[in-house]
Structure 1
Amino acid sequence: MSIKRIGMGSRMSSAVIYHGVARLAGFVAEKAAGKSVKEQTADILAQIDATLKECGTDKTRLLKVNIWLTDMSAFAQMNEAWDAWVSKGNTPARATVESPRLAAAGLDVEIMVEAAVE
C-alpha cells in the first residue's frame, strides 16, 4: 500500500495517508495567532476541515484528536469552539494536555487529528 503526502514541504507534510487513515500534522492558528483561545481554536478547526477535505475525508470520520493548550485555564474557551464544530454523534477519542510553550509566541492551542479515509 502506498503512502500519500498532502502539503509536503522540506521539513514536514500537512497530512500523510496510509492504510486508510489520514494523520494530520499539529495545526496552530494562522489568522487568529495572538487572539483568544476560542478564536485560535476556530481558526485551527477551519484549517483541519480544509486539510481533511484534501485527504478525501471530513470531521465525521475523526478517530483521534490530541490538543495542546499553553494554559489549562482556557480549556472552556477551547471547548466552546470545539463543541460548535465537532460532528455530533461522531465524536473521536480525544486528549487535551497543557504544554507551557508551543512553537511561537502568541500560539496557545495546537491540534493534531487522525481520520478514516476509506
Structure 2
Amino acid sequence: MSEIKRIEVGPRMSQAVVYGDTVYLAGQVAQGKAGASVGEQTKDVLARIDALLATAGSDKTKLLSATIWLTDMGRFAEMNAIWDAWVAPGCTPARACVEAKLASPSYDVEIAVIAAR
C-alpha cells in the first residue's frame, strides 16, 4: 500500500496530496495577485502550480487533468492566452472550464490539477 504524502497541510485542506505516482492539487487562486486582471491572476496561479508540482516531484509535462473556474466566461480568451503559453506542447491535460462564484470576490480564476509523478 502506498504512503499518502500531504504538502502544505492546513486545518481545512492540504495544498497537494501525493498517493503512489499521482499528485492531486487543491484549487489554486492568485493569492499574490488578488484583485488583478484575469491574465495576471492566471500567471500567479500557474506559478503556484509549478511550485507545488515541483515540491511533489512532478511538473506540468505530467499533467493528467485540469479544472478551471472563472467568475466570468467573458474572460475565457484572456485566461486561455496565459494557459496556452504555459502548458507544455504535446502534454496538454484533459481539461474542463466553468463559470462559478469563487470563495472571495477578489479572485476571478481558480485552477486545480492532477498530475503523474
TM-score bracket relative to the smaller structure: over 0.9
**Cα distance in 1 for residues equivalent to 2:9 and 2:31:** 18
The answer as to 2:104 corresponding to 1:104 is: yes
Query: 1:6 is aligned with what amino acid?
Result: I
% identical aligned pairs: 59
- TM-score of the superposed pair, with normalisation by structure 2: 0.97
2:8 counterpart residue number: 7
Tell me what 1:78 maps to.
79
Secondary structure of the equivalent of 2:58?
Answer: coil
What is the alpha-carbon distance in structure 2 between the residues aligned to residue 29 and residue 10 of structure 1? Answer: 20
- Off by >4 Å, runs of 4+ in structure 1: none
User: Please, what TM-score do these two structures have when normalized by structure 1?
Assistant: 0.96
Aligned residue pairs, count: 116
2:91 aligned residue: 90
For residues 37-80 of structure 1, give each alpha carbon's deviation from its aligned partner in whole angstroms, at most 9, with x where no partner exists. Answer: 01100000000000000000000000000000000000000001
Query: What SS class does the counterpart of residue 104 from structure 1 fall into?
Result: coil
* CA displacement 1:53-112 (0-9 Å, x = unmatched): 00000000000000000000000000011011000010000000000x201121000000
- CA apart distance, 1:19: 2.5
Give the unaligned 5+ runs of structure 1.
none
Quick one: distance in 2 between partners of 1:80 and 1:42? 10
